Amino acid sequence: MSNLSFDDRDGTIWHDGEMIQWRESKVHVLSHALHYGSSVFEGIRVYGGNIFKLKEHSQRLIESAELLGFKIPFTLAEINAATEQVVRENNIVDGYIRPVAWRGSEMMGVSAQNNTIHLAIAAWEWPSYFDPEARMKGIRLDNAIYRRPDPKTAPSKSKAAGLYMICTLSKHAAESNGYHDALMLDWRGQVAEATGANVFFVTKDGEIHTPVPDCFLDGITRRTVIGLAKDRGYKVVERVIMPDELGDFVECFLTGTAAEVTPVAEIGQYSFTPGDISRQLVEDYDRTVRGQALN
């Protein structure tokens, strides 16, 4: 990935219905989204010039905005077409797409009923690394310093920018301690997810267990991997998982648009050995996003 700052690049960004030069895509400092978190976004991958699960991501963006009380002024078809245009005009082969919608600056205060709703879509090269051997080493997770909130206190089914504040803080703390990421619990003390990816565990008898997504996103990659696992004949169990159960599992992996399928070697005091099931799902996911048939 380029080391250039994200506000100083060549290329074009789709912004409120127009393709404009990358450096000209601006947001005013008094935008409601900056002060009150009224913004939603998506992360989408491009593999070999093909956008993976575009419709599902665009639909979730629309639904996320509705959960925050605003309507994106473009249809699903228009958002999909704009995304495809961004990828095409920026010549993205293997890359990442970031659609983002937000409340503008007409009103400044908690209430912002009359603010204009904006939508922008950017994309940049992000070479896909299909190297199962490297990924099979596994990453190390710390225990997060914050917990996922009760759905009664936050719109947890929305991919809302404000919900990621505690993820950034937890990931920064983990990185400061020498870890790659952090495992978050929820407000009840149950295992939830990593800071930006869902988590799965494998039992000694080969079952795959994953937390019920009742206070965090049921990720699109999560659902894809569950489908792949079931196609392979693995039993997938969605249930409440408590932290003291982690020692009972032999494998662990994360799933997400950015993470893809990433094995985990350590969570705090618990160790895992990335094995056959993790490897199989890494390979199956890689083939799926590239449009290849599974063996």
**157 and 55 in a common domain:** no
Given CA atoms 80, 84, 85, 90 in this order, what sign does their dihedral have? positive
**285 and 226 in a common domain:** yes
The reported pTM is 0.94
Q: What number is the average pLDDT over the span 55-61?
A: 98
**163 and 17 in a common domain:** no
Contact partners, residue 76, CB within 8 Å, separation at least 6: 55, 58, 59, 62
Which pLDDT band, with edges at 50, 70 and 90, does 127 fall under? Answer: confident
Which pLDDT band, with edges at 50, 70 and 90, does 145 fall under? Answer: very high
Position 128 scores a pLDDT of 62
Domain boundary among 106, 125, 144: 125
> 3-state DSSP call for residue 28?
coil
Residue 6 falls inside a structural domain: no
159, 171, 204, 235: which one is catalytic? Answer: 159
**144 and 61 in a common domain:** no
157 flagged as catalytic? no
d(CA 77, CA 90): 20
Domain with residue 107: its CATH number is: 3.30.470.10
**246 and 119 in a common domain:** no
Which pLDDT band, with edges at 50, 70 and 90, does 233 fall under? Answer: very high
- 């920018």: which residue's tokens? 161
d(CA 255, CA 234): 17
Domain interval for residue 70:
12-125
**236 and 103 in a common domain:** no
**139 and 283 in a common domain:** yes
**47 and 105 in a common domain:** yes
Which pLDDT band, with edges at 50, 70 and 90, does 287 fall under? Answer: very high
d(CA 84, CA 290): 17
**229 and 154 in a common domain:** yes
> Residue 136 class from Cβ within 10 Å (0-12 exposed, 13-18 middle, 19+ buried)?
middle
Position 294 scores a pLDDT of 80
**207 and 282 in a common domain:** yes
Number of domains in the chain: 2
24 pLDDT above the threshold of 50 = yes
Residue 3 falls inside a structural domain: no
**111 and 246 in a common domain:** no
